[in-house]
Amino acid sequence: MKTPVEIPLAAGHEFIALCDLMKIADMCESGGAAKHIIATGVVKVDGVVETRKRCKIRSGQVVEYKGDTVKVVSP
């Protein structure tokens, strides 16, 4: 696994939805595309396949898709 890109949570937020994170991190073109990708079972959160589109991703969690890795960090 290559070094993850760090994405900070928005100030005052405890989590970000997985589909929103994928869009913000440029892992896909749109939120709709992210939802479709997640539903196919190819996205991992902390090394486990995640199919819930609005899964709450919290600080410290790592998301993987197509060789890209993103770690959510506190602001």
Q: How many domains is the chain partitioned into structurally?
A: 1
- Residue 51: count of CB within 10 angstroms of its CB: 12
Nearest one of 26, 22, 6 to 73, comparing CA atoms: 6
Give me the tens of pLDDT residue by residue for the chain, a chain 75 residues long. Answer: 578 899 999 999 999 999 999 999 999 999 999 999 999 999 999 999 999 999 999 999 999 999 999 999 998
Contact 68, 52 (CB under 8 A): no
**Which CATH number do you get for residue 31?**
3.10.290.10
Q: In angstroms, rounded to a whole number, what is the distance separating the alpha carbons of residues 6 and 37?
A: 21
The model carries a pTM of 0.93
Domain range for 11 = 5-73
